[in-house]
Structure 1
Amino acid sequence: MTRTSDGNPTTTPAYYPESENRLGRNVAVLTATQSLGAASPPIIISLGGLVGQMLSSNPALATLPVSLFNLGLALSTIPAGLLIRRLGHRYAYLLGALMGCLAGLVAAWGIYQGSFLTFCVGTSVAGFYAACVQSYRFAAADAAPPALRSKAISRIMLGGLVAAIIGPQIVIWTRDTFVTAPFAGSFLGQAALAVLVMPLILLLKIPAVSHHQNTATGRPLAQIARSPAFIVTASAAVVSYGLMAFIMTAAPMAMVSCGFTPGQAALGIQWHILAMFGPSFITGHLIARFGKIVITALGLVLTGLSGLIALQGLELSHFWGSLILLGIGWNFGFIGATAMLTDCYEPAERAKVQSLNDFLVFGTVAVASFSSGSLLTSSGWDRINTLMLPLVTVVLLMLGWLAWQKRRQPRHA
C-alpha cells in the first residue's frame, strides 16, 4: 500500500467478490432492499407532521416526530457502522430491518393509544433503520473493484426511485385502515416493508474481511478527518445533501404561502424526488467517463442554478423548475461525493470513515429539519435561496483545488 503526500491511500483494496456473478447478485439484492427500506422515510416525513398535529396539544411540536427521525438517523450512523464492522453486513442489516419493523409497530401503537410520546419513540427508532439503509451504498462499493464502484453505488441509488413510488402508495392504500386511528395502518405498512427486507438480506453474500482487516484499526480517525481529501469530500456531501433537504422542506410551505394548493406543492415534491433518483441510470457511467470530482462539481453547479431559478420569480414554473434541478444536482453531487469517499480509506478504516461521513451529512439534515420552517418565516424564500449560493461556491473552489492537487501529485507504483 502506497500513500500520497497527504497520507491518503493511493488504492483501496477492499475485499472483492469471487466472480462477476456474485457482484451482480449483491448489487441486485442491495437495490431491492434499498427499494423497500428507503420507502419508510417518505411515510414518516409525509405523515409525521399530520399525526403530530393530531396527537400533540402544542401545535409548535407538530413536526417534532419528523425532526426526531432525522436526529435518530444522524445519531445512529456511527453505531450502525460499528455493528457492520463487528457483525458483518448481513447480520447488521437484519438487525436494522428488525428495528425498522419495531419502529413501525411502536408508531402505530402510539397513534392507536393517542400517545404523542409513544409515536415520537417510534419515529426516533426508525432513524436507526434509516442509517442502515443509507449504508447500503457503501456495501455495494466495498464489494466491488475500484473501477466498478461508482456504477455499483449508482445502481443502489436507483432503488430510491422505486421507494419514492412505494412509500406514498403505502400511505394512500393504508391511511384509512382504522377509522378510530387514522394513519396507524400506514405505519403498520412501514413495519411490513421492513419484514419484506429480511429474507432479501439473507441473500446478501459479501465475503467477510480477513481477521487482520477486522482487528486492524488503521490510521486514527482524527488523522483521516484532517486530510484534505476527506475534508473536501465530506464538505461536498454535506452541502449537496444538506441544501437539498433544507430547500425541499421549505419549498412546500413557501408554495402554499404564495397561494398554490397543497396538491400543487405535493406534485412539485414528487417531481423533485423523481429527479433525485432518476439520473442514477447514468450517473455511474458519467463518473466513469468524466471522473468523480467533475460529476460532483456538476451536481453542485446544478444545485446553485436551482437557487438562481427560484430567485427569478414566484410562479409555479419557478418552484417546480427549481425543485427538479435541485433533485438532479443532489444525485450527481451526493453519488459523486460517495464515490470520492471510497478513495479516502483503507479496508481497516472504512467503517469509521463511512460512519463519520454519514454522521456529518445527516447531522446537517437534522439541523435543517429543525430550522427550515423558522428560517423561512423569519427570512423568506428568496433569502434562503440567496444564502445557498456562497456555500456552493466555496465547495466548488475546494473541489477545484483538490483536482489541481491530484494533477500535481506524482504517480506511485
Structure 2
Amino acid sequence: MTALDANDRLARRNAAVLTAATAFNGSVMPIAMTIGGLAGLYLMAGEASLATAPVTAAQVGAALGAVPAAALMRRAGRRIGFMAGAAIAMIGCLLAAFGLLQGTFLLLVLGMTGAGAANAFIAQYRFAAADVGSPAQRTKAISWVMAGGVASAVIGPQAVILTRDWFAPIPFVGAFLAGAALAFVGIFVVGLLRAPAPVTPSAAEAAAAQPARPLAAIVRQPVFVVSVACAVASYALMSLVMTAAPLAMVGCGIDQDTAVLGIQWHVIAMFAPSFVTGKLILRFGKQAVVAAGLALLAGSALVSLAGLSVAHFWLGLILLGIGWNFGFVGATAMLTETYRPSEKSRVQGLNDLIVFGSVALASFSSGRLIDTAGWTTINIIVLPIVVACFAALLWGWTALGRRPGSSAG
C-alpha cells in the first residue's frame, strides 16, 4: 500500500468518526437555535426585542471561541481539542437548563454562550477532515462530515419535541438536558479520532521550503477575500432569517411544534446536500457551487416574501438551508487553497472568527428587526447582500483568470 493510499484510508476513517461526532455534538446547536429565542421569550415575558439574546449569545460564543479552539488544537491536537469542545457543550446545556429552572435570564444567556463556544470546535471538524488525504479525498471528506449534520438535524429538533415539557410548567428544560446528554456521548465518539502519521522526509522538506507567511499577505489573496466574504454572507444571512423564523411563525398563529418542525426541515436541508456537494464541487468548481448557493438564498427570500402560510415558511427555510450548504461548503473548500500547512491553524481561526462574529451580529439584529421592522424587512435585506456576493465572485474569477465553470475551483 502506498503512502497516498494509507493517507486516504485514514482520511476516510477520520471522516466517519467526525460524521458520527457531528450527529451527537452537532445536535446541540439545532436544539439551542430552535428553542433559544422561545426560551428567551418565556423568561422575558413576551419582550420580543430581547428574546433572541440567547441565540445571539450562542453566536457570540462561537466567535469568541474560534481563535482559542484553533490555538488549543494547534498545541494539544485535534482529538483533545474536540473532546474539550464537547465537554463545553455539555456544561453550556446544563447551565441553560439551570437558568430556566431558576428563572434567571442571565444564566440562560451564559449557557447558550457556552453552547456557541463549543460550536467553534465543531466548526473545525470540516478542517480536520481535510488534514490528510489526496486533494479529491479532502474535498469529499469535508462534504461527508457536513453530511453528518443530517442526523443532528433530526436528533436535535426531535429531542426538543420529546423533552421540552418534562419539567412543565417550565418549558425547554428537558431539551437542554437532552443536549447535555448528547454532548456527553459525543466526548467518547470524538475520542476515536486518529492523528495523521508523521510526514515523510520528502514531505518535511517540501514543508520546510514553504515557511509561514504573515497573515497580511494571506488575507490579500483574492481567493481568501472572496471565500471569507461568501462564507460570511451565507452563514450570516442564514442566521438572520433562521433566528427570526420561529418567532415569526408563532407570531402568525402557527403552533410551537409546527415551528420546531420547520426548523428541523431547515437543518436537514442545511446538511443533506453534503452527500453530493463534494461531487458538485469536483465537477463544476467551487465558485460555481457558491454561486448556486447564493441563488438559493435569494430564492428563499422571495418565497418568504410571497406569503405567511406554513408552506411559505417551510419552503423558504428549506431553500435557505440548501443555499447555506452550497455557499458555506463551497467557500470552505475555496479557503483551503489559501494557506500552507504551516499557516493552517492561524488562517482557520481567523476565518471562523470573522464568520461567527458576523453571524453573531446577524443574530442580534434579527431580534431587533423582527420586533421593529418585521419578517418582510428581514427577507428583503437578503437580496442586496446576495447581489454583492455575486459581484465578489465575478471579481474573484477575473482576478484569478479563471472561467466560472472551472473545475479547478
TM-score normalised by the chain length of structure 1: 0.87
Distance 1:76 1:308 in 2: 34
Report sequence identity in percent. 48
The residue aligned with 1:301 is 295
Distance 1:297 1:348 in 2: 30
Which of 34, 53, 57 in structure 2 is aligned with 1:46? 34
Q: Aligned pair in 2 of structure 1 residues 129, 208: CA closer, same or farther (>3 Å)?
A: farther
The residue aligned with 1:248 is 242
Contact 1:299 1:331 in 2 (8 A): yes
Which of 348, 351, 361 in structure 1 is aligned with 2:342? 348
Distance 1:234 1:373 in 2: 25
Distance 1:388 1:272 in 2: 17
**Aligned ranges 1:93-172 → 2 under 5 Å:** 93-172=82-161
Q: Aligned pair in 2 of structure 1 residues 402, 174: CA closer, same or farther (>3 Å)?
A: same
Contact 2:11 2:137 in 1 (8 A): no
Which of 390, 393, 397 in structure 2 is aligned with 1:399? 393
Per the TM alignment, residue 135 of structure 1 is displaced from its structure 2 partner at its CA by 0.8
AA of the residue aligned to 1:185: G
The residue aligned with 2:14 is 26
Larger CA deviation: 321-330 vs 59-68: 59-68
Per the TM alignment, residue 328 of structure 1 is displaced from its structure 2 partner at its CA by 1.3
Which of 366, 369, 376 in structure 2 is aligned with 1:382? 376
Larger CA deviation: 73-82 vs 394-403: 394-403
The residue aligned with 1:269 is 263
AA of the residue aligned to 1:161: V
Distance 1:17 1:178 in 2: 52
AA of the residue aligned to 1:48: G
- Asked if 1:290 corresponds to 2:284, the answer is yes
Larger CA deviation: 38-47 vs 116-125: 116-125
Per the TM alignment, residue 262 of structure 1 is displaced from its structure 2 partner at its CA by 4.1
Distance 1:103 1:237 in 2: 26
Which of 262, 277, 280 in structure 1 is aligned with 2:274? 280
Distance 1:383 1:56 in 2: 24
Q: Aligned pair in 2 of structure 1 residues 267, 110: CA closer, same or farther (>3 Å)?
A: closer
Deviations 1:175-227 (A, max 9, x none): 3444576533332222221221122222111216669979x971111221222
Larger CA deviation: 220-229 vs 232-241: 220-229
Contact 1:99 1:128 in 2 (8 A): yes
Per the TM alignment, residue 323 of structure 1 is displaced from its structure 2 partner at its CA by 2.1
Q: Aligned pair in 2 of structure 1 residues 27, 180: CA closer, same or farther (>3 Å)?
A: same
Larger CA deviation: 160-169 vs 43-52: 43-52
Which of 212, 216, 219 in structure 1 is aligned with 2:213? 219
Contact 1:16 1:207 in 2 (8 A): no
Name the Cα RMSD after superposition.
Answer: 2.7
**Aligned ranges 1:318-329 → 2 under 5 Å:** 318-329=312-323
Distance 1:253 1:329 in 2: 22
AA of the residue aligned to 2:15: V
Distance 2:307 2:167 in 1: 43
Q: Aligned pair in 2 of structure 1 residues 177, 151: CA closer, same or farther (>3 Å)?
A: same
- Asked if 1:81 corresponds to 2:70, the answer is yes
AA of the residue aligned to 2:366: S
Deviations 1:323-377 (A, max 9, x none): 2222211111111111111001001111111111111111111111111132234
AA of the residue aligned to 2:304: A
Distance 1:179 1:319 in 2: 28
Q: Aligned pair in 2 of structure 1 residues 404, 129: CA closer, same or farther (>3 Å)?
A: same
DSSP 3-state at the match of 1:207: coil
Contact 1:254 1:381 in 2 (8 A): yes
- Asked if 1:90 corresponds to 2:90, the answer is no
- Asked if 1:175 corresponds to 2:150, the answer is no
Larger CA deviation: 157-166 vs 220-229: 220-229
Which of 335, 355, 359 in structure 1 is aligned with 2:353? 359
Distance 1:111 1:208 in 2: 46
Distance 2:5 2:93 in 1: 34
Q: Aligned pair in 2 of structure 1 residues 209, 382: CA closer, same or farther (>3 Å)?
A: farther
Q: Aligned pair in 2 of structure 1 residues 65, 333: CA closer, same or farther (>3 Å)?
A: same
Which of 156, 165, 189 in structure 1 is aligned with 2:178? 189
TM-score normalised by the chain length of structure 2: 0.88
Q: Aligned pair in 2 of structure 1 residues 271, 64: CA closer, same or farther (>3 Å)?
A: same
The residue aligned with 1:64 is 53
Contact 1:17 1:207 in 2 (8 A): no
Q: Aligned pair in 2 of structure 1 residues 164, 121: CA closer, same or farther (>3 Å)?
A: same
Contact 2:95 2:107 in 1 (8 A): yes
Distance 1:58 1:305 in 2: 31
Contact 1:143 1:206 in 2 (8 A): no
Larger CA deviation: 273-282 vs 184-193: 184-193
AA of the residue aligned to 2:247: M
AA of the residue aligned to 1:136: Y
Q: Aligned pair in 2 of structure 1 residues 107, 208: CA closer, same or farther (>3 Å)?
A: farther
Distance 1:49 1:381 in 2: 15
The residue aligned with 2:230 is 236
May I ask how many residue pairs the two structures share in their alignment? 394
Distance 1:267 1:105 in 2: 24
Distance 2:320 2:13 in 1: 32
